[in-house]
Structure 1
């Protein structure tokens, strides 16, 4: 399989899409607090994406009914927003994508809901650090498998496991 290199113009459009998505995730994050529903966060994300003249990438994809994937606590990935209010101490993973200028951007971030346990704080901190460990290998000469291996090795060294069914889903 040949690698298709992007032109400088395409790279700039991708950068713009990513910057807009960062703004959307930050806007959603400002609303994460006990009592809000993930359905309401989904509405906030939808409006934030539309305000930026972009299109939600997940809405309708393979029949997915929302703009956000919202995974609360032990839900691993691709949770569907609901009317269940978030509670103090929950952890919320938000996965969102948008399409801007013909280019897709996709990102996930985990937020504490109010005050969380030391274990939850550690999980959030360690998974963020694992991301940066993987990022070290995201450059010429390395493969996606090198990124995934770095993430997995880092997390396993801290006592976490990997959900094998999702290996290849970004790490």
Structure 2
């Protein structure tokens, strides 16, 4: 014999199912995508999740121009880490600086391994957002790079943004 549920019981079950779905959707949306399968993943303090997509060495060249037409340049080797992020995209320097520092700390063991066991002196972090429609670059949001690429020192502090103003 099949049990007959009252309207009140059916309504409660339906309500619990709706609450469960509403709580599960944000957690499912923040999960790393197919780009991150089999790669080192991490979670930032603001709930953004990400993974290390690519790790390589690169050179950073700084050129200082003088009034007399002469210039001097300085070239340093750095470790480039490209990370894919999933969460809320933001171009504000306060938010991206905090993310850069956390990402640098999270992927430091991999960077040290790439650098022969030593902590790299210069680190470049490039944040990419798969599946996110990026805003049109303007001077206010960092220009061409949208405040998403920066150089950090060996202690993962003081990000210097590429292609934009610095603090």
Q: Confirm or deny a common fold (TM above 0.5).
A: no
When Rg is computed on C-alpha atoms for both structures, the one with the higher figure is: 2
Q: What TM-score range do you get, normalising by the shorter chain?
A: under 0.3
Which has the larger share of strand? 2
